[in-house]
């Protein structure tokens, strides 16, 4: 029996309340009642300052305020305005452009890129491969268009990227499907904060080359939503040229997002950028991606496209934006470091963390542990395999305070 009244289930499990928003609402109510200093709200997926206010880059806000009506009122072309399509490639690749045929198509955030890649490079009913620790909306996006997510184990026992699990699962799925979409969220992965090293990348590329020998179509989607909050921008882009090593039947697509990098979460802008071996494959990419955009959200909002184009057209302004972001990235790194140190001091095991908005703590009963933490006014997100802490949304003092509380809750909850 379906739990819906008039709506159709279509194989989906739609909860009554979004879990994260539910916990986040309880956290907000606790803050209103007891005061911000007495509550830890580590549920929010946006960068907040130590007073709990959303960080908005002033340099970006100034560009926003200088816009005229035509900059936001007019429709943008389906694939994006031309200056944006050029600027966003510079933003995504920095000094590490891969060789090959590159095309960028504007999308509403990285989310839009994920949707279009899955719809065009997998078939109805197919499984899309990603890591066992992953951003839950991957499943929602895939399910909405009749696909599903399958996972490989992200880490070995000793906390390294699990290349063998990646190989085994890719091979298994390719044996049963005509094509395969692979999603790797790196650097500063959500929810663990792991970044694939250059060595990990060499191994990943090696596995894909071997698997691609079967001749089937493979799309490697690099979800780079957090790339500019990982560390030095160029250092963290060193893996990009490796995408050119892949053979003709593999297309790499970078899902780039303006949400975090330019603090433009609500302006809904990003791009899907392909690295293809031939001009025909790149043209096809552009054609199918624009077609899918037309059939889902039509064109992407113009406003953030104009903002990015202006920033990249003005080297001084770009420098200003980058140095302002660095200040906040350093703040985030301090918080991540503080959490790691406090966890080590009290013996709390965390999933390998390098950088970014989130740290994850593995545990057997995440729901029980997070309920227990709520009783102490610590609000975190329970996932399938552990608890996610948004260090992006809590001050350094809270990052130092909560690891022992989490440890105690996990021990009591088991
Ligand atoms: C892992 C990951 N990928 C992609 C996104 C997409 O974000 P947006 O659609 O705002 O660009 C997010 C946002 O939280 C994310 O966490």
Q: Is the pLDDT of residue 1 over 70?
A: no
Q: Is 187 in the pocket of ligand 1 (CB under 6 A)?
A: no
**How far is Cα 232 from Cα 229, in angstroms, rounded to an integer?**
8
Residues 26, 109 within the same domain: no
Alpha carbons within 13 A on the beta-carbon side of 151: 14
**How far is Cα 257 from Cα 308, in angstroms, rounded to an integer?**
11
Query: Which is nearest to 195 in space by CA: 352, 359, 393?
Result: 352
pLDDT at site 340: 97
Residues 41, 151 within the same domain: no
| CATH assignment at residue 299 | 3.40.640.10
Q: pLDDT of 168-211, one tens digit each?
A: 999 999 999 999 999 999 999 999 999 999 999 999 999 999 99
Q: Indicate the length of the chain as a whole number.
A: 414
Domain assignment present for 6: no
Residues 370, 295 within the same domain: no
pLDDT at site 13: 86
Alpha carbon of 215 to ligand 1 centroid (Å) = 31
Residues 350, 279 within the same domain: no
- CB 348 within 8 Å of CB 406: yes
Residues 159, 94 within the same domain: yes
Residues 189, 231 within the same domain: yes
Domain assignment present for 255: yes
Domain membership of residue 369 as a residue range = 19-56+345-413
Q: How many separate domains does the chain show?
A: 2
pLDDT at site 12: 87
Residues 215, 284 within the same domain: yes
Best residue for ligand 1 mutational test, from 43, 137, 188 (most atoms within 8 Å of Cβ): 137
Residues 297, 210 within the same domain: yes
pLDDT at site 256: 98
3-state secondary structure of 389: strand
Whole-model pTM over 0.95: yes
pLDDT tier, 20 (very low <50, low <70, confident <90, very high otherwise): confident
pLDDT at site 230: 97
Q: Is 223 in the pocket of ligand 1 (CB under 6 A)?
A: yes
Last residue of a domain, one of 313, 331, 362: 313
Please compute the mean of the pLDDT values over residues 82-95 and round it to a whole number.
98
Q: Is 259 in the pocket of ligand 1 (CB under 6 A)?
A: yes
Query: Which is nearest to 172 in space by CA: 202, 127, 213?
Result: 127
Alpha carbon of 52 to ligand 1 centroid (Å) = 21
Q: Is the pLDDT of residue 414 over 70?
A: no
Alpha carbon of 213 to ligand 1 centroid (Å) = 32
Residues 272, 349 within the same domain: no
Q: Is 300 in the pocket of ligand 1 (CB under 6 A)?
A: no
Residues 192, 235 within the same domain: yes
**Which H or E run contains 256?**
strand 250-257
């Amino acid at each position: 029996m379906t739990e819906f009244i008039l709506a159709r289930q279509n194989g989906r499990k739609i909860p009554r309340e979004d879990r994260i928003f539910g916990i986040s609402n309880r956290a907000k109510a606790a803050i209103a009642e007891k005061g911000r200093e007495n509550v830890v709200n580590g549920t929010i997926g946006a960068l907040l300052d130590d007073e709990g206010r959303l960080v908005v880059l002033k340099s970006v806000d100034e560009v926003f305020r200088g816009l005229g009506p035509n900059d936001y009122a007019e429709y943008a072309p389906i694939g994006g305005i031309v200056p944006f399509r050029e600027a966003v490639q510079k933003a995504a690749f920095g000094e590490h452009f891969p060789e090959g045929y590159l095309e960028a198509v504007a999308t509403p955030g990285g989310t839009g890129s994920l949707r279009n890649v899955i719809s065009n490079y997998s078939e109805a009913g197919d499984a899309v491969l990603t890591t066992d620790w992953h951003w839950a909306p991957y499943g929602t996006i895939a399910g909405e268009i009749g696909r599903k997510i399958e996972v490989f184990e992200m880490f070995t026992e000793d906390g390294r990227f699990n290349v063998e699990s990646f190989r085994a699962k890719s091979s298994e799925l390719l044996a049963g499907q005509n094509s395969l979409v692979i999603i790797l969220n790196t650097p500063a992965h959500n929810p663990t904060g792991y970044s694939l090293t250059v060595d990990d990348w060499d191994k990943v590329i090696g596995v894909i080359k071997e698997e691609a020998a079967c001749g089937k179509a493979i799309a490697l989607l690099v979800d780079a939503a957090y790339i500019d909050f990982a560390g030095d921008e160029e250092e963290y882009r060193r893996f990009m040229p490796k995408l050119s090593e892949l053979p003709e039947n593999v297309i790499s697509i970078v899902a780039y997002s303006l949400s975090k990098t330019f603090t433009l979460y609500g302006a809904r802008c990003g791009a899907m950028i392909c690295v293809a071996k031939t001009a025909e494959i790149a043209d096809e990419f552009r054609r199918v991606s624009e077609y899918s955009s037309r059939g889902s959200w039509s064109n992407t909002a113009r406003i953030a496209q104009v903002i990015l184009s202006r920033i990249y057209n003005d080297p001084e302004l770009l420098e200003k934006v980058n140095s302002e972001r660095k200040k906040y990235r350093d703040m985030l790194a301090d918080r991540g470091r503080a959490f790691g140190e406090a966890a080590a001091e009290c013996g709390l095991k965390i999933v390998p963390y390098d950088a970014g908005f989130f740290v994850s703590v593995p545990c057997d009963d995440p729901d029980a542990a997070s309920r227990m933490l709520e009783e102490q006014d610590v609000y975190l997100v329970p996932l399938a395999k552990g608890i996610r802490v948004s260090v992006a949304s809590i001050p350094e003092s809270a990052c130092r305070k909560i690891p022992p509380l989490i440890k105690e809750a996990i021990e009591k909850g088991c």
